[in-house]
Amino acid sequence: MEPTDTRTAILEAAARLYADLGYSAVSMRDVAKEIGVAPANLYHHFKGKEDLIRETLTHVFAKKTAPLADIFTRTASSGQLEVFVDFFLRLLVEDRVFFRLLVRELLDGGGTRLQELAHSVLERPFSLVSSLADPEGSEDQRFLTTVSMIGIILGHVQLATLLPYLPGGRPDYGDPSVLAQHISAVLRRAFYDAAKEK
């Protein structure tokens, strides 16, 4: 393996292990064993476990959110909300590693790591999503609207396995297509009502 291939293999293996077992349950030795290299090889690429965790998160989140800019460029502004909702829902539902790492970071990520991740990786996709919010609204309103959009999507995905068991729930309520349609409609109504109030 070339050095960059080894580094990528380490990041991919670490991502899977961290997603499945959590940060504290995975040692540098576990990651090395997963890809069949000596533990010392990991230290050639990363200073230590915390560095590997940070680099793994950056690798996964940057790789998975990168297509969003291209999707927004190719989509008329009138359809960007639906495209974003569908993109983010499918990413959360179909990419177990991304979803679990995101939830782990939200629950257990330290302030420094979350701050670095927000600035180095998530700032650009967040700005793109923020562009969907009312352009005439205040910066505070756009920020909170963006957080609400992301929260609605994330909340639906987190509750998907419970939905069939709740009164009125159905198994198809966890289907990404059904969810995307519903969430897009809810957000469109909210945006329309907010515009009417002005």
For the stretch 67-76, pLDDT in tens is 999 999 999 9
Average pLDDT over residues 103-111: 86
The overall pTM is greater than 0.85: yes
Average pLDDT over residues 89-111: 91
Q: Does 161 have pLDDT greater than 60?
A: yes
Helices (H), 75-162: 80-94, 96-108, 111-117, 123-130, 139-159
Mean residue pLDDT of the chain comes to 90
Q: Which is nearest to 88 in space by CA: 49, 128, 52, 50? A: 128
Average pLDDT over residues 169-188: 90
Which of 76-85, 108-117, 135-144 has the largest mean confidence?
76-85
Average pLDDT over residues 113-129: 90
Q: Does 195 have pLDDT greater than 70?
A: no
**Residues 92 and 152: beta-carbon distance below 8 Å:** no
Handedness of CA 76, 79, 85, 90 (dihedral sign): negative
Q: Does 179 have pLDDT greater than 80?
A: yes
